Structure 1
Amino acid sequence: MNLKKTPIALAIFSVLSTAHAADSAKTNLDSVIVTANNAPQSLKSVTSNTTVITAEDIESHQYQTLQDAMRQVPGLTTYSNGGLGTTTSLFMRGMGGKNILVLQNGMQLNDPTLTDGTTNFANIMLDDVERIEIIKGPQSGVWGANASAGVINIITKKGGKRASVNFEVGSNNRKKLAATLGAGNDKVDFTFNFSDLSTDGFTAIKKYKTSGAGDEKDPFAQQEASFNLGINLTKQQRLEAFIKHGSGNSESDYSTPNTSSSSTYESTLRQIQYLATLGDLSTKLYAQDSHIRRGYPAYSSVYEGKVNQFGAQADWHYADKQQANFSLTSKQLEDLQKSNSYYNQAASLNNTNQLFGERWTVTEALRHDEYNQFDNKTTGKIGTKYHLMPKVFISANVGTGYNAPSLYQLTNLSTQTSKLKPESSTGYDATLRLFGLTLTYFNNEIKDELVTDSSYKYYNQNGTSKYDGVEASYKRSINAINSDFTLNFTQQTAKDKDGKWLARRPEQQGDLTFDYFGLSQTHIGVQTKYIGTMYDKANQKGANIGNYSVTDLVADYQVNKHLSVYGKVQNLFNEDYTPAVASYESDNVTPKYVYNNGGTLWFVGVRGKL
């Protein structure tokens, strides 16, 4: 199902040109409370380009992993080196995973033992998730290091009365059991979540232009459990505790099929916080840590990292619709196997003013970070949003960001340097929303980027990498046919200091989502993702692995208020696209072995709720 660049662009923008039609979306997200500026506030008052994926979205579109949910977000690109559990990459506006700070309830998921401090995207499941906030643009002025492209904050379900269980089966002997139980009163509340997913999988690597049938399969299994507890000490004081543990094992291939490489993964998140409200002042004291352990039995290798953080925050509503947030944090990143670590202390200030009856919003952020092993950084951002009408606004943001050297990079120095310093970045974007249409232009630059020499040792290179582009999104509810319609399109460039294209960044991408509710108690949805020109190697070398589209089909039927059945077919038309190339023929253009997308996959399930 190849789509040519010009037809899809014309089709998308011809539809976008009808954006003057009334915006009657069923869910009003403007009133949703988010943490984009590290303090609770309505989405309407956030100037940064922010996307919120709710638990309802996750359930109706049958998103299983963070990667699934990110595929439909404008400006985000993702691919895996095989099936579930294999290495997964995520790009935001062309910038890689090291530039994206990933949090769960404010706790850092970036792995300090990975070479560039990115996140294990393959192991993030969504069964206990209430919403996902994606904040694009430099956010280091709010969140600190590794937020130069943006932030993904995953918020889990809070305590309260709820109970659900669902069971799934699918292709490749896929089986999943997930359950949620919650209860509470005005004194105490809790939520417990559990999930167990396993599959025989499919071969991660296959010979180019073959199905991979007959090659060995690469299985995957992962279990997760989380517990959220809240105790109301008084009407103004609350104590919250959260713990989550996940473990899994997977197999993948290296270079060729039938070359099994197994790995294990373990993650533990722990957080305790004290919340108090004193009139117009809300305060929070917290302690948290994240512990990640990765093992590779075939190589007798173990990687074990930990992030410890303590902090205090104060959110002051000093006037009507005027809000300031103060924050002090202390963080330690550790490599437990190598007994290596560094420390970070930070102070930050955020301010948001809503003026003229909430029509005009102005926000500012300033943060100073101090480190014991490399240079300190001061970053900030300024944003503004003006509503000409309730569904019409213009906004603009400018900010600075940085990426801290990872523990691995600090101990693997090139002979070209005696000391590493943080990468620094600047970026801005401007947005126009006109009823259901949203148009955004973005521009980001990174200086002093950390790269490797011929011996794979790290140094800061001179020069500036540049990323810019346009994002377009159109959302509409078509009440006459009981349907919702979403169309996204991104045109971008991602180039290094020499003006050469970076690898595996598509020049354009788009997606179409159509949800039909016209049948009694039934929802049917179709999602099509288009990837334009994209080369496997830098400087547009190697194979062009883009110019394809993939369609998923979802459906669910509400049997009664307590029981529903659902299903999903991924890659409905069995598109033989290539996520990435594993090795090449002698011409370095024709792929020899490629990573496998698995072809058409499906699962069905039943969900019970009280």
Structure 2
Amino acid sequence: MSSRRTEDPMRRLLLLSSAIALSWPAHAQQLTQSIPETIVTATRIPTPQDRVPASVTVITREDIEERGYRTLADALVSVPGVRLVQTGGIGQQASAFVRGAASRQVLVLLDGVPLNDPSEPNGAFNFGNELLGDIERIEVVRGPASSLYGSGAVGGVINMITRRAPANTPFQGFGQGALGTNRTATGYIGGAGTTERWNWLAMGEGLSTRGADATAPRFNANTGERDGFSGAAATARLGFRPDADSLVQGLVRWRENQTSLDNVPRDDPNNEITDRMLYGQFQAETVIGGIWTTGLRASYVGTNRRNLNLPDPLQPVSADDQFRGDRQTYEWGNIVQFGEVGALRDVALTFGVVHALESTDSRSGAQPFQTTTDASARQNTFNVGFQARLFERLDVQAGIAQEEAEDYDGFTAWRLGGTLALPEINSRLIASAGTAFKAPSLYQRFGRIGTTFRGNPDLRPEDSFSWEVGMESDIPAFGNSAFATAGATWFRTEFNNLINFNAAFSTLENIDTASAQGAELYLTLRPAAWLELYGAWTITEAQDDNGNPLPRRPRNVATANARIAWDRFVVVPEVLFTGASPEGAFASYRNTGASVPVPDYNKSGMIWNLTATFRATERISVFAQGSNLTNSRYEPANGFVLPGRTALAGVRFVF
């Protein structure tokens, strides 16, 4: 990566990947298979992780398999700075609060394309839906990123990167199958290949379970009714390289989930939701003059959710709610690699423009209080970025983005950051600051509830100012130069123009402010070649302008795990601790119909998981997983209890 010669094949591959990283970070992730420390989501240019001026957690395919993660929600639970709240088991609604920001202020990408649902009232994302069979890597960037990705990237960005075909391999097959408690069956199967000019991948996956009862047993109306789930997904990719400097490729992904839902404080035997998503993108890029990489991408994301609840003895009212939304984006992105300029090296300039069209047609509830949203909106975002290295130890990155929207005030977001390498003490320092914004959703601007509520088309974007400083050090001991790695990051965010109901609940206004501050601390120990120990502790103090703590943001969240590897065995135990937190608007439901009264906040809870893998041959591995081994009845959200103790065992293969 250090070579500056554009004629070098690796250099050409890096330039080709960089263009896609700017316009669509997906393609640039092909390098992550051979250069795992390279990060794209935080910079749009492939950059070694220790030179990125942002807090980044990378979850690799190996992590997903060794820790038994099946959904995106599973994978995010142990990430520092992230508090994951799920109202039940697989497929149930899950929200992520990153560094105290609201879940709607976290942007989720698939290969660089935003997935946040335009039909969701707050423009948020359900983290409980996505299975991980076709995901190669997840990059979690904490902190403001609107200068790179526009609206929604206030608390951070989560980028899921799909699998790629292996290099120089005409055909490779792969798959997995497993069975478990609660009549759970899951698996995936696929194939991929690469020739001199073509690359391709096709795969499908599915998961079915009768699930567990999500309603807390402390409610008198609890009947023990289970919340089942069935989901399926298919992914196809095809790429063509007309010459060494150019690439054209397309990706299509389809997903459909069916989930049973529970209500609080009583079960509901026939409340079900169907959630479909169709995703596609087409992209092309080329290198001009050896230093300028330019690319185009068109993408589409369509969502269709239906919540059907027919009458029953416990719920005499029927409901048939439908939420349809789609987003079309057209992007032009550029990276110009200048190399060395005076005392600077690795100098790069990025610039581009994104045109997006969002629309929704949604209906829920019944008259006279039926909620409807039928609207669309366009916006253009222009971005410019710069990065360089000085004195072989100081990396500086800067970016600015201007969003222009047709029906609300736009926003200018910026970010400036740097990392300073201190090899004399095996350390690096990081510091950054920036602004971010979340545009008002289509419902917030144009939604209606009967004749009592109207959205406000004059809403301004929610916005924030954030800063962070941190330090990471490698600590030698016992003859090991990296016996331990310790890190600490301090952060603070001011949230402004937050959208909430007016006093009459007749519309919405920009009336709230809030703040969040805290620290992310972590330590990795490597006492032996076969043992790695990891622990992280996040402290967050989030409050509104009156000093009241924000709901579902616990002050303390901690995780600890180990990787024990010897011969053909890998064993990964994991402990997750979540401290107490207020429940906010939902606190009034906590004791309604409850046989055991509890305080109006979520109590703390601890979860123990264990996954073991045995490599039977070079191509076949068997694994077993136990989740919630202590059968904890912890409630992550008001009235919704964790699934009980579960087990899963299966086989994984590649040929």
TM-score (norm 1): 0.89
Q: Which residue type is aligned with residue 301 of structure 1?
A: D
Aligned position for 1:348: 383
Q: Does 1:220 align with 2:229?
A: yes
What's the secondary structure of 1:62's corresponding residue? coil
Aligned residues: 568
Aligned position for 2:333: 313
Mapping of residues 209-608 of structure 1, within 5 Å: 215-255=224-264, 256-278=266-288, 279-298=290-309, 299-320=319-340, 321-337=346-362, 338-357=373-392, 359-389=393-423, 391-412=426-447, 419-435=458-474, 436-453=485-502, 456-479=505-528, 482-518=530-566, 520-537=567-584, 542-581=599-638, 594-608=639-653
What's the secondary structure of 2:516's corresponding residue? strand
**Distance in 2 of aligned mates of 1:89 and 1:215:** 24
What's the secondary structure of 2:216's corresponding residue? strand
Change (3 A) 1:564 1:432: same
Aligned position for 1:24: none
Task: Spell out, residue by residue over 1:156-209, the C-alpha distance to the aligned partner (whole angstroms, 9 max, x if none).
Answer: 112234321111111110001211210111110111121010000112213318
Distance apart, 1:280 and its partner CA: 1.1
Distance apart, 1:122 and its partner CA: 1.3
Structure 1 gaps, min length 5: 1-26, 582-593
Aligned position for 2:62: 56
Q: Which residue type is aligned with residue 601 of structure 1?
A: T
| Percent of residue pairs identical | 24
**Distance in 2 of aligned mates of 1:362 and 1:540:** 45
2:141/2:157 contact within 8 Å kept: yes
Aligned position for 2:185: 175
1:423/1:448 contact within 8 Å kept: yes
Task: Spell out, residue by residue over 1:112-131, the C-alpha distance to the aligned partner (whole angstroms, 9 max, x if none).
Answer: 11110001211111111111
Q: Which residue type is aligned with residue 397 of structure 1?
A: S
What's the secondary structure of 2:120's corresponding residue? coil
What's the secondary structure of 1:141's corresponding residue? helix
Distance apart, 1:452 and its partner CA: 2.1
Task: Spell out, residue by residue over 1:307-335, the C-alpha distance to the aligned partner (whole angstroms, 9 max, x if none).
Answer: 10001111111124111111111001111
1:503/1:540 contact within 8 Å kept: no
Q: Which residue type is aligned with residue 545 of structure 1?
A: N
1:198/1:221 contact within 8 Å kept: yes
Distance apart, 1:432 and its partner CA: 0.6
What's the secondary structure of 2:147's corresponding residue? helix
**Distance in 2 of aligned mates of 1:87 and 1:349:** 36
**Distance in 2 of aligned mates of 1:101 and 1:228:** 24
**Distance in 2 of aligned mates of 1:608 and 1:457:** 57
2:261/2:268 contact within 8 Å kept: no
Aligned position for 1:197: 207
What's the secondary structure of 1:253's corresponding residue? coil
Distance apart, 1:336 and its partner CA: 3.9
**Distance in 1 of aligned mates of 2:270 and 2:81:** 34
Please tell me the root mean square deviation across aligned C-alpha atoms, in Å.
2.2
**Distance in 1 of aligned mates of 2:69 and 2:221:** 25
**Distance in 1 of aligned mates of 2:294 and 2:51:** 20
Change (3 A) 1:511 1:29: farther
What's the secondary structure of 2:600's corresponding residue? strand
Change (3 A) 1:170 1:564: same
Q: Which residue type is aligned with residue 71 of structure 1?
A: V
Q: Which has the higher contact order (CA 8 A, sep 6+)?
A: 1
1:450/1:458 contact within 8 Å kept: no
**Distance in 1 of aligned mates of 2:101 and 2:613:** 36
Q: Which residue type is aligned with residue 222 of structure 1?
A: G
**Distance in 1 of aligned mates of 2:241 and 2:348:** 25
What's the secondary structure of 2:634's corresponding residue? coil
**Distance in 2 of aligned mates of 1:280 and 1:114:** 42
**Distance in 2 of aligned mates of 1:443 and 1:420:** 25
Q: Does 1:155 align with 2:161?
A: yes
2:446/2:455 contact within 8 Å kept: no
Change (3 A) 1:193 1:297: same
Distance apart, 1:496 and its partner CA: 1.2
**Distance in 2 of aligned mates of 1:454 and 1:291:** 35
1:237/1:274 contact within 8 Å kept: yes
2:212/2:644 contact within 8 Å kept: no
Distance apart, 1:478 and its partner CA: 2.2
2:60/2:137 contact within 8 Å kept: yes
* Alignment equivalent of 1:116, drawn from 102, 115, 122: 122
1:470/1:490 contact within 8 Å kept: yes
**Distance in 2 of aligned mates of 1:526 and 1:211:** 36
Task: Spell out, residue by residue over 1:382-431, the C-alpha distance to the aligned partner (whole angstroms, 9 max, x if none).
Answer: 00100001841001010001110001110148689662111111001001
**Distance in 2 of aligned mates of 1:300 and 1:404:** 29
Q: Pick which of 119-128 and 308-317 moved more.
A: 119-128
Distance apart, 1:459 and its partner CA: 2.4
Change (3 A) 1:394 1:540: farther
Q: Which residue type is aligned with residue 521 of structure 1?
A: R
**Distance in 2 of aligned mates of 1:186 and 1:393:** 41
Task: Spell out, residue by residue over 1:448-492, the C-alpha distance to the aligned partner (whole angstroms, 9 max, x if none).
Answer: 101124665542343520000010011122226x11111000111
Aligned position for 2:17: none
2:447/2:455 contact within 8 Å kept: no
Structure 2 gaps, min length 5: 1-32, 310-318, 341-345, 363-372, 475-484, 589-598
**Distance in 1 of aligned mates of 2:548 and 2:70:** 35
1:215/1:258 contact within 8 Å kept: no
Mapping of residues 95-106 of structure 1, within 5 Å: 95-106=101-112
2:444/2:456 contact within 8 Å kept: no
Task: Spell out, residue by residue over 1:62-102, the C-alpha distance to the aligned partner (whole angstroms, 9 max, x if none).
Answer: 11111111111111011211111111111101212111010
**Distance in 1 of aligned mates of 2:586 and 2:536:** 26
Task: Spell out, residue by residue over 1:245-288, the C-alpha distance to the aligned partner (whole angstroms, 9 max, x if none).
Answer: 00111111122124431010100110000011220111111100
**Distance in 1 of aligned mates of 2:412 and 2:471:** 30
Change (3 A) 1:549 1:210: farther
